[in-house]
Amino acid sequence: MIADRNFLSPDLVADPYPYLHALRAEDPVHWSGPHQAWILTRYDDVESAFLDERLSAARVRSLLPAEPSADDRQTFDAIYRLLGNWMVFTDNPDHSRLRRLARAAFTGRMVERLRPTIEAIVDGLITEIERERHVDFVSRFAFPLPATVIAKLIGVPEEDLGRFQHWSQDVSTLVFGGYGGAGRRERAVRGLLALERYFRALLDRRQREPADDLLSELARAEEKGDVLSADEVIATCALLLFAGHETTANLLSTGFLHLDRHPHERRWLAENPALASRAVEELLRFDGPTKLQVRMATQDMELRGKRVGAGQRVLLYQSAANRDPQRFLEPDRLDLGRSFDEHLAFGIGIHYCLGAPLARLEAEIAFRALVERLPELHVDPGDIEWHATISSRGLATLAVSV
Ligand code: HEM
């Protein structure tokens, strides 16, 4: 019998892969006591679960205790009201309505128009690293790049970006399932309310003075009144801002750590810069920013002979699927030139990551520029500090030097 482990224990936060291999081999549909959820680890099972309409993405209630005390009820109602309009937590028909309007801004063609902007931001950040020589890669490169890009795209003034970092950290311990202690949900509510207040005021401003940004476009749609309510526009902006930088920042910092640990692969990238987009796919597969997605069973069902009950949680373990030896040859080897089979880092099905073209472009430009312009940049010796969360994978800090 495979041991029942808590994914927040420090060894699994640092390296979940050996345990995930054991789960996949011995009990691929595993009931986890510590997480009160079914855990799927085989590629085929995770892929089918993403596409299974019996598994609902409306999971906000599962972030909260089933029977809150009277004191907690107000906090939980606020969380439910604010996160309930995030498209990623809805099923159809609401989901397709929420996704439709934002979709146009994230097509490959629209995103490609951002290339010069992204290149200029990367250039500026690299110049600062060159000048200072010793920096924290997370706060000086991985975080500001996607945050600046998504803020520009939505229409958030750049000077407000610092405030978002705090709000989104408050939200992430809840959404990604971290420790955060007793005040975790209260902090999340504070962050969500601050985001809501901020976007309500900005939406108001854009309705009076439209600009060339996504918020103005959403504001026009809201005025027509038939597509999105003001609350939904605000929720969509908060989601895009949150999803648009947390995950990409994690891809950039984890990706750089792996380039540093695999000098042979790094050399390959430096010699084949035109293949940077392929390298990004492999970094996403090898150690991507989202470890798993949560779904709720809406009816009793059977998965590989196990009976999953209506109302139970199911964890679709993407990072286990992406290392499944049935699907990928030598899955534990980082091979930037790997000829590619589809990984599940962006999910699949109706919730497939809306921002995937943007994340891919940012990472391609960033890694290419890093290996070309900073060939000597390396991670300083010392301990690596991972974020202790269930569903996301990322570094808290990463000291680097030129
Ligand atoms: C490397 C970076 C990223 C990764 C690994 C990632 C991963 C994911 C995954 C796995 C999902 C599916 C969630 C589910 O099935 O429940 C998702 C959804 C989503 N992502 Fe990303 N994401 C990234 C970057 C971005 C960016 C840059 C944006 C926005 C600009 C973004 C916006 C979204 C949105 C709006 C959804 C919800 C889509 C829906 O429910 O239809 N993501 N992302």
pLDDT reported for residue 170: 79
Q: Which atom of ligand 1 is nearest to the CA of 146?
A: 27
pLDDT reported for residue 37: 94
Tell me how far apart the alpha carbons of residues 178 and 181 are, in angstroms, rounded to a whole number.
9
Pairing of strands 37-40, 313-317: parallel
Encode pLDDT of 267-311 as tens digits. 999 999 999 999 999 999 999 999 999 999 999 999 999 999 999
Can you spell out the DSSP letters for 368-400? HHHHHH-TT-EEPSS--EE--BSSB--EEE-EE
Q: Whose CA is nearest to atom 20 of ligand 1?
A: 353
Q: How far is the CA of 208 from the centre of ligand 1 (A)?
A: 31
Encode pLDDT of 64-113 as tens digits. 666 667 777 777 777 777 788 899 999 999 899 889 878 877 888 888 99
Q: How far is the CA of 313 from the centre of ligand 1 (A)?
A: 20
pLDDT reported for residue 294: 95
| Pocket of ligand 1, beta carbon within 6 A | 57, 87-88, 99, 150, 239-240, 243-244, 247-248, 251, 288-290, 293, 345-347, 351, 353-355, 358-359
Asked if pLDDT for residue 181 goes beyond 60, the answer is: no
Residue type for position 129: I
- Under 8 Å between Cβ of 37 and 294: yes
Encode pLDDT of 308-363 as tens digits. 999 999 999 999 999 999 999 999 999 999 987 799 999 999 999 999 999 999 99
Site to probe by mutation for ligand 1, drawn from 47, 56, 106, 247 as the one with most ligand atoms within 8 Å of Cβ, is 247
Q: Whose CA is nearest to atom 27 of ligand 1?
A: 244
Give residues with Cβ within 8 angstroms of 295, minimum separation 6.
49, 52, 55, 56, 57, 59, 313, 314, 316
pLDDT reported for residue 65: 65
What confidence category does residue 163 fall into, taking pLDDT thresholds of 50, 70 and 90?
confident
Q: How far is the CA of 202 from the centre of ligand 1 (A)?
A: 23
Tell me how far apart the alpha carbons of residues 322 and 330 are, in angstroms, rounded to a whole number.
11
Q: How far is the CA of 241 from the centre of ligand 1 (A)?
A: 11
- Write out the H or E segment, with its range, that includes residue 301: strand 301-303
Q: How far is the CA of 67 from the centre of ligand 1 (A)?
A: 30
First to last CA, the chain: 48
Say what percent of the chain tops pLDDT 70: 95
Encode pLDDT of 225-236 as tens digits. 557 788 888 888
> What are the φ and ψ backbone dihedral angles of 290, each rounded to 5 degrees?
-115, 120
pTM: 0.94
pLDDT reported for residue 61: 73
Question: What distances in angstroms separate CA 181 from CA 109, 285, 294, one per listed residue?
Answer: 43, 31, 21
Can you spell out the DSSP letters for 128-166? HHHHHSEEEHIIIIITHHHHHHHHHHHT--GGGHHHHHH
Q: Whose CA is nearest to atom 17 of ligand 1?
A: 353
Q: Which atom of ligand 1 is nearest to the CA of 153?
A: 30
Top-confidence residue, 71 or 53: 53
Q: How far is the CA of 2 from the centre of ligand 1 (A)?
A: 32
pLDDT reported for residue 212: 86
